[in-house]
Amino acid sequence: MKTRLIAGAIAVVLAAAGTVLVLSYVRGADARAMSGLDTVEVLVADAPIAAGTPAADLASLVVTKELPAKAVLANGITNLDELADSQALVSLEPGEQLLTSKFGPPAATGLKELVIPPEFQQVTVLLELKEAMGGQVKAGDTVGMFFSFTDAAGVNYSHLTTQKVLVTRVQQAASTNAGAAGTSSAKSRS
C-alpha cells in the first residue's frame, strides 16, 4: 500500500511539472514567433464599436497590439490623437485594426437651411453605406441617381435617371442597423 501511495504522489508531481512546462512553452510561442520580425504597435478594437461612436469615447473600446509590420494596413492608427474630432463611419468588430478610412468628421448639426425653389422637389432616399460611396457623400455634393430593375424576361437593367442631384442633408442611421448608412435628402427637377 505504501508503494502505491508513493507512486501516486510521484505521478501527481510529474503531471504538475509537465503542465507547467507545457504552459510556459505555449506562453512563449508569441514571443518566439515575433522574434526577428519588425513589429509595429497599432490600435485594435477590443469590443464592438458602433458606427457614429465619437473618437473621444474609444479609449475603453480599443487596445494597443504589437503586430508584424507586414500585417499592419497602410492607414492603420497608432494613436487615438490621429482621429481628433472624428467618429466611426462604420461598425468595427473586436480584433479589427482601426483605420483612418473608417473614421471621418461627425455629421454637422445646425446646417443652414437651403431655400428650395417651387419648381424643385425635395425627397428622402434611404441608402446603404456601399451605395453612398462608403459614407463619403455630404451636404452640398451633387450625385447621379441610378435605378436597377429586372424586366419580365428576367434581364437586369440599370438606368441613370437623374444627374446633378444636390444633396441637402445626410443623416447617419441608428448604430444598431449597420446596413442602413443614412438618408439623403435631395432636390431634383420635377
CATH number of the domain within which 76 lies: 3.90.1210.10
- The 10s digit of each residue's pLDDT in 80-99 is 888 888 888 888 899 888 88
Q: Has residue 85 been placed in a domain?
A: yes
* DSSP, residue by residue, 17-31: HHHHHHHHHHHTHHH
Q: What is the mean pLDDT of the chain?
A: 79
Structural domain boundaries, residue 137: 120-189
79 band by pLDDT with thresholds 50, 70 and 90: confident
Total number of domains constituting the chain: 2
Are 125 and 85 found together in one domain?
Answer: no
DSSP letter (8 states) at residue 75: T
Q: How far apart are CA 83 and CA 94, in angstroms?
A: 19
Are 94 and 146 found together in one domain?
Answer: no
- The 10s digit of each residue's pLDDT in 141-157 is 888 888 888 988 989 98
Are 93 and 134 found together in one domain?
Answer: no
Residue whose C-alpha is closest to residue 80's, from 98, 68, 94: 98
Residue 126 dihedral angles phi and psi, to the nearest 5°? -90, 125
Look at residue 31 and tell me whether its pLDDT is greater than 90.
no
Q: Which of 10-14, 67-71, 93-97, 186-190 has the highest mean pLDDT?
A: 10-14
Look at residue 72 and tell me whether its pLDDT is greater than 70.
yes
Find how far residue 98's CA is from the centre of its chain: 7
